[in-house]
Amino acid sequence: MKPRIGFGERVFDGSNTVLMLALVVVTLYPFLYVLFASFSDPADLLQHRGLLLAPTGFSLESYKLVFDNPMISIGYLNTILYVIVGTALNLTLTSFAAYALSRKGVRFVGPIMFAIVFTMFFSGGLIPTYLNMKQLGLLDTRWAMILPSAISTWNLLVMRTSFASIPAALEESARIDGANDFRILLRIFIPVSLPIMAVMTLFYGVGHWNAYMDALIYLRDRNLYPLQLVLQEILITNSTDSMMSSVADVDKGLLQETIKYATIIVATVPVLLLYPFLQRYFVKGVMLGSIKE
């Protein structure tokens, strides 16, 4: 049965559609502008006014300079390392904690949970945290990008809720077969919670890819810089000169703009390419988090 669609309904649907299309344009256009500008001829781009609907002229010069820049490759490699090692540690510790704290009959679970949740509401703050890292001798080491963020308490709570809902019978039968807790976690809990493990991998992974603050605070040695800190130098503090040592002075001003655009594209492409495939997992993750407060 098709409901009657009155005039008011049609106006509502029409304006809603227009509004949503406008939102899509506003969301996507900045990326498109950057993409078009990055392939534009620097001189043409300087002349151009207003929106871009396609590259003006065509040039790969800025991409060439970006790829030739050693800092971009250093940043890329460091970030990949931090993502892989960091996420592996995140998943190990978070699943340990979630498993241990969701088992029955374990002593001190209550106080431990309280101490863990308390850190969501109160922390030492920037300066004591920095001094602590200094005291530990972790400043200017790769560990500074991995250890301080080893567990996200929020993710821990989500995973614990999920582990708590796994039937005890599964665990008991494995225990009768002589499996210890490490085996039960690895062979039973993780396989039956693959969706949530996927979500956690993605949340942690994206977190490491985008991590910027810890690098800004803890790292001075440029060889340890992650991509985001390199990006900050190029995009925010405008230091593109180092990339253009081979470029004549007159062209530097021209290239400065397009280099920025090419840098944004190079740094964002992995996320943009993976996004369509991973998107449904992300959404699932938010839902999981919202099931239980």
Partner 1 sequence: MNILRGWSRHKYIYLMLLPVIVYYVVFLYLPMYGLQIAFKDFSPAKGVWGSPWVGFDHFVSFYDSYYFWRLIRNTVLISFYELIFGFPAPILLALLLNEIRVRIFRNVVQSITYLPHFISIVVVSGMMIDFLSSDGMINQLTGLLGLPSVSFLISPEWFRTIYVSSGIWQGVGWGSIIFLAAISGIDPSLYEAAKSDGAGRFRQIWHITLPGILPTIMIMLILRFGTLMAGGSMEKILLLYNSTTYETADVISTFVYRRGLLQMDYGFSAAIGLFNNVMNFLLLVAANRFSRKINNTSLW
Selected from 126, 170, 186, 273, the binder of partner 1 by CB under 8 A is 126
Kindly state whether residue 228 participates in binding partner 1, applying the rule CB under 8 A: yes
Q: How far apart are CA 203 and CA 200, in angstroms?
A: 5
Closest CB to partner 1 among residues 29, 67: 29
Kindly state whether residue 115 participates in binding partner 1, applying the rule CB under 8 A: yes
Kindly state whether residue 26 participates in binding partner 1, applying the rule CB under 8 A: yes
Closest CB to partner 1 among residues 65, 234: 234
Kindly state whether residue 99 participates in binding partner 1, applying the rule CB under 8 A: yes
**Between residue 53 and residue 82, which ones bind partner 1 under the rule CB under 8 A?**
none
Kindly state whether residue 18 participates in binding partner 1, applying the rule CB under 8 A: no
Quick one: which segment of 64-72, 127-135, 163-171, 241-249 binds partner 1 (CB under 8 A)? 127-135
Kindly state whether residue 201 participates in binding partner 1, applying the rule CB under 8 A: no
Selected from 1, 2, 51, 250, the binder of partner 1 by CB under 8 A is 51
Closest CB to partner 1 among residues 244, 264: 264
Closest CB to partner 1 among residues 71, 101: 101
Closest CB to partner 1 among residues 50, 246: 50
Closest CB to partner 1 among residues 8, 246: 8
Closest CB to partner 1 among residues 248, 277: 277
- Count of residues engaged in binding partner 1, rule: CB under 8 A: 87
**Between residue 139 and residue 198, which ones bind partner 1 under the rule CB under 8 A?**
147-148, 150-151, 180-182, 185
Q: How far apart are CA 90 and CA 84, in angstroms?
A: 10
Selected from 32, 74, 80, 93, the binder of partner 1 by CB under 8 A is 93
Kindly state whether residue 107 participates in binding partner 1, applying the rule CB under 8 A: yes
Q: What is the 3-state secondary structure (H, E, C) of the chain?
A: CCCCCCHHHHHHHHHHHHHHHHHHHHHHHHHHHHHHHHHCCHHHHHHCCCCCCCCCCCCCHHHHHHHHCHHHHHHHHHHHHHHHHHHHHHHHHHHHHHHHHHCCCCCCHHHHHHHHHHHHHCCCCHHHHHHHHHHCCCCCCHHHHCCCCCCCHHHHHHHHHHHHCCCHHHHHHHHHCCCCHHHHHHHHHHHHCHHHHHHHHHHHHHHHHHCCHHHHHHCCCHHHCCHHHHHHHHHCCCCCHHHHCCCCHHHHHHHHHHHHHHHHHHHHHHHHHHHHHHHHHHHHHHHHHHHCC
Kindly state whether residue 268 participates in binding partner 1, applying the rule CB under 8 A: yes
